[in-house]
Structure 1
């Protein structure tokens, strides 16, 4: 985990996105950003999370928020994942892991007694001023999007 805490400036990133695009956090200054990190395209929890964020994207938009999902999968995999599940959120590729690490979401994980490095399912609510407003680590998918939406709507007031 990094030492990031609420009130800190969000680490800058520029990443390739689905559809051959690019997203730069600096260009989003003045907008609220929901940045969520997830382990892998097309796995059960990650798919559910992406679908739920997509279903709520209009409500996030009304609160002035942009949603960006980030994993280490490449853009080609993101394109397939997005098309297969009709996702509306932007998916960014962090193949080298630098953004995942900058946000403290590259962590030691354990599964069946085996230790390995992987992405911590985590979400960052970045305010229009570029500062971290809320941070969620070790996210459980069920109910998470609703919690993030409530926090986002509270920030918009």
Structure 2
């Protein structure tokens, strides 16, 4: 069963790039943009992350927390964060447990090959911890501004 708007967002505890434990439940009272992405330092993921970076002050002024999640390890996240000066945490979901809980992990097809991986999905979580909006078809180039328009709307 996949998550729907109005569902309580599954809680999680993951480490960020610096080894800090980030718990979704600790962010209650704030809106959260939780975005799942396949891999650090790949073209689409870089465009998406830089879009959030470029709009970060707009998100911050609305009191919105941005969290990026992939199956990459902390070292890869650290390099990616430093290279592109990302001002928000990237979380390590190395065994894809959280991605699976959000229905954002599964069979993918690329260049004629099938493999298991993270799907590019985003969840906007309301201050009450429920899912406010789900994006399952993400255009990395314009995604950050698309979500911001929703948040401001």
- Aligned alpha-carbon RMSD (Å): 1.0
Match of 2:122 in 1: 123
Q: Is structure 2 residue 87 aligned with structure 1 residue 84?
A: no
CA distance in 1, matches of 2:134, 2:100: 15
- Contact map agreement 2:51 2:141 (CA 8 A) in 1: no
Match of 2:143 in 1: 144
CA distance in 1, matches of 2:73, 2:115: 21
Q: TM-score, normalised by structure 1?
A: 0.94
Larger deviation, residues 95-104 vs 142-151: 142-151
Alpha-carbon distance, 1:113 to partner: 2.4
Q: TM-score, normalised by structure 2?
A: 0.96
The residue correspondences of 1:31-110 to structure 2 (distance < 5 A) are: 31-110=30-109
Unmatched 5+ stretches in structure 2: none
Q: How many residues align?
A: 153
Q: Tell me, what secondary structure is at the counterpart of 1:19?
A: coil
The residue correspondences of 1:9-48 to structure 2 (distance < 5 A) are: 9-48=8-47
Moved over 2 A (4+): none
Alpha-carbon distance, 1:98 to partner: 0.5
CA distance in 2, matches of 1:143, 1:83: 22
